[in-house]
Amino acid sequence: MPSYQLQINGQSLPVDALADTPLLWILRDQLGLVGTKFGCGIGQCGACTIHVDGTPLRSCQLPVKTAAGLKITTIEGLSSDGSHPLQQAWIEHDVPQCGYCQAGQIMTAAALLQNNPHPSDDEIDSALAGNLCRCGTYLRIRAAVKTAATNGGLA
Amino acid sequence: MAGGGFALAFGFTGSSGAFAQPSGAIDDTARVFTPNAFIRITPDGKVTLVSKNPEIGQGIKTSLPMIIAEELEVDFDRITVEQADLDETSFGPQFAGGSLSIAQNYDRMRKAGAVARTMLIAAAAADWDVPVDDCYAEHGSVFHRPTGRAQSYGKLASKAALLPVPSDDEVKLKDPTNFKILGQRVGGVDNLAIVTGRSLFGIDQRVPGMSYAVFEKCPVYGGRVVSANLAQIKTLPGVRDAFVIEGGDIPQELVSGVAILGSSTWAALSAQRQLQVTWDEGRYADHSSEKYHATARELGRQTGTVLREDGDVEAAFARAAKVVEADYAYPFLAHATLEPQNCTAAVVGDKVEIWAPTQTPGGGQALVAKTFGLPTENITVHVTRIGGGFGRRLRNDYIVEAVAIARRAGVAVKLTWSREDDMRHDFYRPAGYHFFKAAVDDHGNLTAWKDHFVSFGYRGTTEPASSARMSTLDLPARFIPDFRLEQSLIETNVPTGPLRAPGSNAMAYVLQSFQDEMAHAAGTDSVKFALKLLGEDRELPPAGGRGDAYSVTRMKGVIQRVAANAGWGKSLPRGRGQGFAFYYSHAGYFAEIAEVSVTPSGRLKIHDVWACGDVGPIINRSGAETQVQGGIIDGLSAAWLQEITIERGRTVQGNFDDYPLLRISDTPSVHVEFIESDNPPTGLGEPALPPLAPAVCNGIFAATGLRIRSLPISRHNLAWS
C-alpha cells in the first residue's frame, strides 16, 4: 500500500492508503478526525467539507494521492478551542439541531468570510447552497454567519 | 452508569438511605449524592444530570435536564449533562418518538429535581439544627433565611446522601411563576462539541481492533442471497472477510445479505461496489409505482370499505348548492437522515455491547435477544447522539445486522450504510390516494364530505400497512352532519413506517387542500370558512390517537393569531398569494400561512411562512422556535421536491442527486409565535410539519389559480398567464 505525507491542521502526518481513498475516510478512520462527516459520498451534501489552501472542498471527492502535500484544514483545525468567530456565533444563535451537518456548514462559511468579510444575504445563500441541513437550521445559519461577519469573521 | 451502587431506583418510596448512621456519630466520609438515576452531586460541587431519552436533534438532551435543574435550583450553565445508556429499570421508558419526551417526562423530571432539592434543604437544616421551613435553595446552595448562612450543594452532598429519599408525592413543586430556567432561551448542551468536531454520533464510534463492515441486501425488499462472488471480493485490497448472513424476509428484522469486512470504511465500501450477488427476489419483483397508480384509479371508481358514515352523503350531494370532486395523491417518502444508518457492535461469548444511534434502544435490545436467543441482561446498549431520526431510527435493523456480523466475524464491527443503502432500505412514508367529493350550501357552509382513501396493505390487503392508516376522527368528521370515509387497499411489498408526523404529514395536505377548494367553491375566504366549520369554542372528545381532547378553542386561537400576524386578506398582485392551513397532531395545535410567488414561466418562490402553535407552556424557547422552523422547512422540502418511486419491485432513487433536500437558497423566512397556557406541556418535534404542504399549495392556487392535487410540487408545470 502506498504512503502519503499529508499536511493536516499544521501537522505533517504520514498515512498508508490506496491511492483512490477519499481524504474523508483517511481523516475519519486513520487519523481519528471524525469532525468531517460522511453524508452522501457524491459531493452533494457538503458534510465532508474541508479547506485546501483555504478553499472549501468536499473531501469525499478528494483522493488521498491528490491531497498529499496540500495544506488541509479540518473543523478540528479551525481553532484549538471553539473560539473562531463562526463557532462562537453558532453557539450564540443555538444553531445545531442534530448537529451532523454543522462542521461542514462552518467550514464553508469560514472560507466565505475569508474571501468576502461582509457578504450579502444572497452571497451567504449562494456560498452555502452546497451544504444540506436535513433538520432545517438554515435560518439560524444565516443569522450566525452575519453575526460572525459583524464580529470580524476571521480567526 | 449513574451512581453505581449508590443509585436508588427512581420512585422507590420510603426507603432509608443506604448509609444510615447511628445518632451521635460524626462521619466525614465523602459521598456522592444521587437520590435517583437522574442526579449526581459530588463533594467538589459538580452537578451531573442524566438525560434519559435519545437525542435526535429535537433538543431533549437539553430540555429534560432543564426541567430537573429548575426544580433542583441550580444554574443551568453550571451543570454537566450525560446521555443515559439503556436501562429502563432505572430511567423508565427510553425512546424518542411521537413528540412525547416532554409530555411524558415533564412531571417526572420536576419531581426528580424536587426530591433532591428537598433532601439538600433537609441536610442543611439538620446540620444547622434549624427548622426546614427557615431554609430555601437557589443557585446551587441552601440558605438559612434568618441568618443568611449558606452551604453549597457540594458541601451538602455527603450529608444528603445519608438521608431517606422522600416519595414523589411528599415533595413540593415550584410555582411556575418563579421559574428561572424554563421558558428561557437555552443553547444545546452539545453545541461546543458539535462546532469543534468532537466524536458524538453513532458513525463516529471506534472500538480498538474493530473491523469496518458493509451489508448488501436484496434491492427487492426481503429477497434472499442465492450466490455471490465472495472469493473475488476477498482478494480486494483491505478486505478482511466476506460472507453470507442467513436471514428472514422481514425488513425490520435480520434479513438475508452479504457482509464485507474491511480494514477501513473505504475498503469495505469500495469492495461493495464490486459485489455481484444473485438474488431470489421473491414474488414482488414486478411491483411498480405505475401499477400502483393504475390500481388506485380503478379502486377509486368503486366503493371501498366504509370506515365511518354519518348522515347520508348522497342525499346531501343531491340537494347541495355546489358539489366538487377532486382526486389527490402523495408519494412514498424516504427519511434521508443525514447520518446514514450505522451501528458498532462487539460480541464476546454470549455478551453483546452495542453503540447505536437508535430512537428505541429497548427495541434494539429486544430484537437482538430474540434473534440470537440471548438474555436481555447480556446486551448493553450505548445510545449515541443521532444525526437525525425522523422516525427511521424507530427501527433497529442496522443493530441486528451489526450484531450478526460481529458474531460471525469474531471481532468488534462498525457497520456503515452507504447513502444508497440508506435510501433503498428504508421504511417509507406510504403513498396514498384520495377520491374526494364534497358539497357547500348557499351560505358558505361545508355540508357534506366523502373521501375514498386508497392506501396500502403490506403483503396483503386485509389491513393498512404501518403508518398507512387514516383516522376516522380527522376534521371535517364530527363537524358536519353528512360524512363518509371509505378505504381500499393495494397490496405492496414496500416496507413502510413512521415519518415525522406519521399519518398527519400526508392527511393534512389532502384534507386542508380540498377544504380550501371547498372554501373557494363557496366563494368564502379560507380562514373564515375554517372558523365557521370549527364552530363554537368547545372541546371534542379525544382524537389523534392520543386520548387528548380536541379543543376547538385552542385551534381557533392559533388560526386567528396567525391570520393577524401574516396580514391575511392583504391585496396581492397576480402571481403572488397567501395560503392557509391548520392541523392538530401530536396534541399540538398549529395554523400556518405561506406567502408564495410564481413567475409566469412557473418558477416558484416561498417568501414567508407564519406559524402559530399552542402546546401549552414553552420549555426551551430557543429549542421550541427551532423545532417549528425545522418542521416547516422539512415539510416544504418534502412537498416541493421529494418522491420515492418503485420500479421492478425496488426503490429507484439512491442519493441526493435524485432525492433532493431543500437548500438554504430556497428557504423562506419563518415567523413563529406560540400561544402559551398552563395546559399540560406537549411536544414540538412534529406538529408544525403537517400544515406546511397545504398552506403552500393553497398559496400557489391563490397566486395562479393552479390547484396542486399531487405531490411533489416540482412535478407540476406552474406556468400561468
- The reply to whether B212 and B324 lie within a common domain is no
For residue B51, list its beta bridge partners. B83
| Contacts (Cβ under 8 Å, ≥6 apart) of A37 | A47, A48, A100, A101, A103, A104, B201, B203, B338, B339, B387
8 A C-beta contact, residue B65 and residue B359: no
Q: Which residues of B touch A104 (CB under 8 A)?
A: none
8 A C-beta contact, residue B392 and residue B375: no
Q: Does B185 touch chain A (CB under 8 A)?
A: yes
- The reply to whether B372 and B470 lie within a common domain is no
pLDDT tens by residue, B319-360: 999 999 999 999 999 999 999 999 999 999 999 999 999 999
- H/E stretch holding A150 reads helix A138-150
Half-sphere exposure of B566 toward its Cβ, with a 13 Å CA cutoff? 34
The DSSP secondary-structure symbol of B135 reads: E
Q: Which residues of A touch B386 (CB under 8 A)?
A: 98
Give the CATH number, domain containing residue B67. 3.30.365.10
For residue B280, list its beta bridge partners. B224
Q: Which of B86, B344, B337, B389 is nearest to B203 (CA)?
A: B344
> ω before A14 within 30° of 0 (cis)?
no
Q: How far is residue B272 from each of residues A2, B245, B653, measured CA to CA in Å? A: 22, 15, 18
- The reply to whether B224 and B269 lie within a common domain is yes
What's the number of domains chain B is made of? 3
Tell me the backbone φ, ψ of residue B622, rounded to 5 degrees.
-70, -45
pLDDT band at B547 (very low <50, low <70, confident <90, very high): low
Q: Is residue B580 in some structural domain?
A: yes
- The reply to whether B13 and B86 lie within a common domain is yes
Q: Which of B392, B403, B395 is nearest to B343 (CA)?
A: B403
Q: Give the residue extent of every domain in chain A.
A: 3-77, 85-150
Q: Is residue B195 in some structural domain?
A: no
- The reply to whether B465 and B368 lie within a common domain is no
8 A C-beta contact, residue B18 and residue B6: yes
- The reply to whether B161 and B276 lie within a common domain is no
- The reply to whether B327 and B348 lie within a common domain is no
- The reply to whether B325 and B350 lie within a common domain is no
Q: Is residue B704 in some structural domain?
A: yes
Lay out the sheet containing B135-138: strands in order across.
B135-138, B141-144, B150-152
Beta strands at B604-614 and B646-647: parallel, antiparallel or unpaired: unpaired
| Cβ within 8 Å, pair A103-B197 | yes
Q: Which fold has domain A3-77?
A: Ubiquitin-like (UB roll) (3.10.20)
Residue B545 pLDDT = 55
Mean pLDDT of B245-270: 97
| Cβ within 8 Å, pair A42-B192 | no
Q: How near does any CA of chain B get to the CA of A40, in Å? A: 5
Q: Which three cell numbers stand for residue B257?
A: 445479505
Q: Which three cell numbers stand for residue B326?
A: 377532486
Q: How far is residue B441 from each of residues B315, B344, B446, measured CA to CA in Å? A: 13, 62, 7
Q: Does A10 touch chain B (CB under 8 A)?
A: no
Domain that holds residue B98: 4-186
> ω before B476 within 30° of 0 (cis)?
yes
8 A C-beta contact, residue B84 and residue B50: yes
Q: Which residues of B touch A78 (CB under 8 A)?
A: 196
Taking CA–CA distances from A122, the nearest residue in chain B reads B665
Residue A68 pLDDT = 96
**Which residues of B, range 614-653, sit inside 8 Å of A by Cβ?**
622-623, 626-627, 629-634, 637
Name the residue among B194, B419, B665 with its Cβ closest to that of A102: B194
Residue B254 pLDDT = 98
Name the residue among B237, B388, B665 with its Cβ closest to that of A134: B388
pLDDT tens by residue, B630-639: 999 999 999 9
| Cβ within 8 Å, pair A18-B237 | yes
Q: Which three cell numbers stand for residue B614?
A: 399552542
Q: Does A39 touch chain B (CB under 8 A)?
A: yes
Q: Is residue B537 in some structural domain?
A: yes
Q: How near does any CA of chain B get to the CA of A11, in Å? A: 17
- The reply to whether B531 and B559 lie within a common domain is yes
Beta strands at B224-228 and B669-674: parallel, antiparallel or unpaired: unpaired
Q: Is residue B294 in some structural domain?
A: no
Residue B18 pLDDT = 37
8 A C-beta contact, residue A29 and residue B205: no
Q: Which fold has domain A85-150?
A: DNA polymerase; domain 1 (1.10.150)
Q: Does A30 touch chain B (CB under 8 A)?
A: yes
Residue B29 pLDDT = 79
Average pLDDT, chain B: 95
8 A C-beta contact, residue B335 and residue B390: yes
- pLDDT per residue as tens, chain A (155 positions): 899 999 999 999 999 999 999 999 999 999 999 999 999 999 999 999 999 999 999 999 999 999 999 999 999 999 989 999 999 999 999 999 999 999 999 999 999 999 999 999 999 999 999 999 999 999 999 999 999 999 875 55
Q: How near does any CA of chain B get to the CA of A45, in Å? A: 7
Q: Which of B385, B348, B345 is nearest to B365 (CA)?
A: B345
8 A C-beta contact, residue A109 and residue A131: no
Mean pLDDT of B106-134: 98
Q: Which residues of A touch B270 (CB under 8 A)?
A: 20
- H/E stretch holding A51 reads strand A49-52
8 A C-beta contact, residue B466 and residue B498: yes
- The reply to whether B16 and B153 lie within a common domain is yes
pLDDT tens by residue, B68-77: 999 999 999 9
Q: Provide ipTM, 2 decimals.
A: 0.98
Q: How near does any CA of chain B get to the CA of A26, in Å? A: 9
Q: Which residues of B touch A37 (CB under 8 A)?
A: 201, 203, 338-339, 387
End-to-end CA distance of chain B: 66
Q: Is residue B291 in some structural domain?
A: no
* Optimal mutation site among A100, A120, A131, A145, interface B, most CBs of chain B within 10 A: A100
pLDDT tens by residue, B551-562: 999 999 999 999
pLDDT tens by residue, B684-705: 999 999 999 999 999 999 999 9
Q: Which three cell numbers stand for residue B155?
A: 458541601
Among B416, B440, B457, where does a domain finish? B416
Mean pLDDT of B372-399: 98
